[in-house]
Structure 1
Amino acid sequence: MKNEGTSRFYVPDVFPAVPDIEFTSTLIATARRLQSELDFGLHVGICASDDSFYGETPEWIEKLSRLGVINVEMESSAIFTVAYLRRCKAASICAVSGNLVTGEVIYETENKRLVEGWEKEIKVVLEAIYAYERQRQTQP
Structure 2
Amino acid sequence: MTIHIGAKKGDIAETVLLPGDPYRAKWAAETFLTDPKLVNEVRGMLGYTGMWKGNRVTIHGSGMGMPSLSIYANELIKDYGAQTLIRIGSAGGMQDKVKVRDLVLAMTSTTLSTPSRGIFKEVNFAPSADWSLLDAAARAATKRSAPFHVGGIYSSDVFYDERPDLNEQMTRHGILAVEMEAAELYTLAARYGRRALAVLTISDHLLTGEALPAEDREKSFGDMVEIALEAAFAK
Range into which the TM-score falls when normalised by the shorter chain: 0.7 to 0.9
2:120, 2:132 → 1: CA distance?
Answer: 23
Partner secondary structure for residue 165 of structure 2: helix
Of stretches 52-61 and 70-79 in structure 1, the one that deviates more from structure 2 is: 52-61
2:220, 2:120 → 1: CA distance?
Answer: 32
1:92, 1:98 → 2: CA distance?
Answer: 17
Residue ranges of structure 1 left out of the alignment (5+ in a row): 136-140
Partner secondary structure for residue 53 of structure 1: coil
- Residue 60 of structure 2 corresponds to none
- Residue 134 of structure 2 corresponds to 24
Deviation per CA, 1:98-128: give whole Å up to 9, x if none. 110122246xxx6333333221100111111
Moved over 6 A (4+): none
Residue ranges of structure 2 left out of the alignment (5+ in a row): 1-109
> Once the two structures are aligned, what percentage of the paired residues are identical?
26
- The answer to whether residue 217 in structure 2 is matched with residue 114 in structure 1 is yes
- Residue 7 of structure 1 corresponds to 116
2:133, 2:180 → 1: CA distance?
Answer: 20
Structure 2-normalised TM-score? 0.49
Alignment of 1:74-93 (within 5 A): 74-93=180-199
| Paired residue type of 2:232 | I
Tell me if the contact between 2:134 and 2:231 (Cα under 8 Å) persists in the aligned partners.
no
- Residue 128 of structure 1 corresponds to 231
Partner secondary structure for residue 232 of structure 2: helix
- Within the candidate set 198, 204, 207, 1:101 is matched to 207
- Shift of residue 4, structure 1, vs aligned partner: 2.9
Partner secondary structure for residue 93 of structure 1: strand
- Shift of residue 20, structure 1, vs aligned partner: 0.9
The structure with the largest helix share of the pair is: 1
1:44, 1:114 → 2: CA distance?
Answer: 21
2:187, 2:134 → 1: CA distance?
Answer: 15
Tell me if the contact between 2:111 and 2:156 (Cα under 8 Å) persists in the aligned partners.
yes
| Paired residue type of 1:127 | E
2:178, 2:117 → 1: CA distance?
Answer: 19
Deviation per CA, 1:14-66: give whole Å up to 9, x if none. 1111111122111111111112xxxx421111100101113154332222111
